[in-house]
Structure 1
Amino acid sequence: MSKKIIYIDMDDTLCDYASAHQLALKLYPEIQFPQSKPGFFHDLLPITGGIEAMRQLLASQHYDPFILTAPSVMNPLCYTEKRTWVETHLGMDYVHRLIISPRKDLLKGDFLIDDYNEGKGQELFTGKVLRFCNGQVFLERF
């Protein structure tokens, strides 16, 4: 039996982007895109339960998990900081499973877990899209 390929988004799925972004907007109102400040992506807090779920997926005999995240293309620090976040919170096993792409539809797999169901190619992903919202996963389409 082959393992099912599952992609998991980072921002607001594994790490709390929204809260950090709102706080940064308040702290730095003069900066239009505070997520471009050094350390923004690296310092994001993990979503409750996300780290443990990723460890369970990696140990699973049924799933082959990867992290699939879209970069903030106007922020070159984003690429490095997402990678260092993964190493800090999930270790080198997941660094080897990190995919950074602005187009999520380019990858083939069975499942994509994401907080959005469109905008970065999610709507064209050929597998099942599972929407992550408020700590729960919902089947978006099949």
Structure 2
Amino acid sequence: MQPKLFFDMDNVLVDTLTVFDRLNPISYQVKKPDQIPGIYRRLSPITGAIGAVKKLSEHYDTYILSTAPWENSSAWQDKLLWIFDYFGKGFDDIFYKKVILTHDKSFVRCSGGILIDDRPYHGASAWDDSNFGSFWLQYAFDPRLTWEKELIGLMIQASQIFLEAQVNEREALLLANDGFDGKYRLHGSFKDNNLRDWEKNK
């Protein structure tokens, strides 16, 4: 049995915040950029993300775990269509019926696994939970842990430890991290620490 790996979409697989930060929502007659109809359909992948997911899917049972803004109904459909565009939608494709959209990612951690998410919000930080054997790995918190640098190597090492040592995903990742000389910082604070001004205006 392969270990489980969950990917957040925004700022992990999809270049979201750098686009939103440049937009003026008023010109689209909405309050926040994430409310712009169709915006999630047009976003580009993070550099290296598509190839990284395909590589890691050889070592993990992979899932998408993401949120979508409540006041933008098109975002829920557009996120699924984005996945179809880059990963396919057929029975043999990586994320076939393995996409979870929710406002509280913490509910999903009860099955164990590792969540790669860029920030602690919407229940992501709750994945750092030894009771469930789950872990939140914060994408790019340690600048070495990106798709173009050393993140893939760390994750492959963790999957090998999972299989060989017969430990859960959390323990496998921590053991893999211990094996690197320059031990990575796997995540930052569990509290809100990087909200944009437009994100604070509920």
Q: Secondary structure at the match of 2:187?
A: strand
Q: Tell me which structure has the larger Cα radius of gyration.
A: 2
More strand, by proportion? 1
Q: Which residue number corresponds to residue 8 of structure 2?
A: 9
Percent identity between matched residues is 26
Aligned positions of 1:107-118 closer than 5 A: 107=108, 108-116=111-119, 118=120
Offset of residue 29 of structure 1: 7.9
Query: Which ranges of structure 2 fall in alignment gaps of 5 or more residues?
Result: 152-184, 189-202
**Residue of 50, 65, 69 corresponding to 2:62:** 65
Supply the distance in 1 between the matched residues of 2:135 and 2:117 (Cα, whole angstroms): 11
Q: CA deviation at 1:55?
A: 1.1
* Residue 126 of structure 2 is aligned to residue 119 of structure 1: no
Counterpart-to-counterpart distance in 2, 1:4 and 1:13 = 19
Q: TM-score, normalised by structure 2?
A: 0.62
Higher relative contact order (CA 8 A, sep 6+): 1
Match for 2:54: what amino acid? Answer: R
My pick for the range that moved more, 35-44 or 8-17, is: 35-44
TM-score, normalised on structure 1? 0.85
Aligned partner of 2:72: which letter? N
Gaps of 5+ in 1: none
Q: CA RMSD in A?
A: 2.1
Distance 1:85 1:27 in 2: 25
User: 2:51 & 2:45 partners in 1: Cα distance?
Assistant: 10
Deviations 1:107-140 (A, max 9, x none): 1232000001x22111222311111126625522
* CA–CA distance in structure 2, aligned partners of residues 31 and 103 of structure 1: 24
1:27 Cα offset (Å): 8.3
